[in-house]
Amino acid sequence: MFPLRDNIPSSHRPVVNYAIIGLSAVIFLLEVAAGRHIQQIINVFGFTPGRFLALWQTYPDNYLALYLPLFTTMFLHGGWLHLIVNMWSLWIFGDNVEDALGHVRFLILYLAAGVAGSLLHLVIAPESWIPVVGASGAIAGVMGAYLLLFPRSQILVLLPFFFIFPVVEVPAPVFLVVWFVLQFFSGAFSVLGHRAGSGGVAFWAHVGGFAAGMLLLILLAASRVRNPFKRYE
């Protein structure tokens, strides 16, 4: 299922969401411009579990080298498709979550969920020396928060079926729970196949980000959350 749009309008301009999308696009263009040096950039600014643990054991006071990649990895992407899919998902779900939380708390949720996703990937694949890049963990956190905030929302999705591509409307909880279950079992199968740190998609970063987003929403929102859904009640 590929999401096309939801049915919840925003009442405030999602400036942080726009800024994240714009910054991610600019950084990706810089990646493209780097040409043959791109792998060096990914090695330094992507998150590598093995490198993180080695630095933590040998140079625990080197905070910049140790912790900066946990944040910079969210703004790097491995290709045009990776960037477009991530930013499109953020475009659909991020504006409503920012509308509900406000700009600052939305940014905190986004960054914290991304870090949580990387840390779960670290727990699952501690010996991996393959850099992980992408905003998927952070965006998964936004999706987890969306699930709690807008349980009655509808998502218009493209549903590929052989050579037929119907567009259908499904409840947001159905779309998001199915997406989460697919990430969870894909991650579980990668562990069973001993491939959790062998490259490809870091499914556990998605799982960790999604769960963190739900928890962070509860912690950040409390009773002060601006819930746009009240306009429909």
Are the beta carbons of 115 and 132 closer than 8 angstroms?
no
Per-residue pLDDT at 231 = 42
Cα–Cα distance measured from residue 16 to residue 21, given in angstroms and rounded to the nearest whole number = 9
Q: Among this protein's residues, is 136 annotated catalytic?
A: yes
Per-residue pLDDT at 172 = 95
Quick: pLDDT tens for 103-122: 999 999 999 999 999 999 99
User: What secondary structure letter does DSSP report for 104?
Assistant: H
Secondary structure (3-state) at 159: coil
Per-residue pLDDT at 233 = 36
Q: Does the 2-232 domain belong in CATH 3.60.15.10?
A: no
> Domain spans of the chain?
2-232
Secondary structure (3-state) at 222: coil
Alpha carbon 60 to chain centroid distance?
27
Residue 99 above 80 pLDDT?
A: yes
Quick: pLDDT tens for 114-145: 999 999 999 999 989 999 999 999 999 999 99
Q: 9 or 146: whose pLDDT is higher?
A: 146
The residue from 24, 118, 136, 190 that is catalytic is: 136
The residue from 77, 89, 121, 206 that is catalytic is: 206
Q: How far is CA 186 from CA 2, 77, 86, 116, 221, in A?
A: 17, 21, 18, 18, 31
Cα–Cα distance measured from residue 139 to residue 60, given in angstroms and rounded to the nearest whole number = 29
Cα–Cα distance measured from residue 217 to residue 231, given in angstroms and rounded to the nearest whole number = 20
Residue 14 above 80 pLDDT?
A: yes
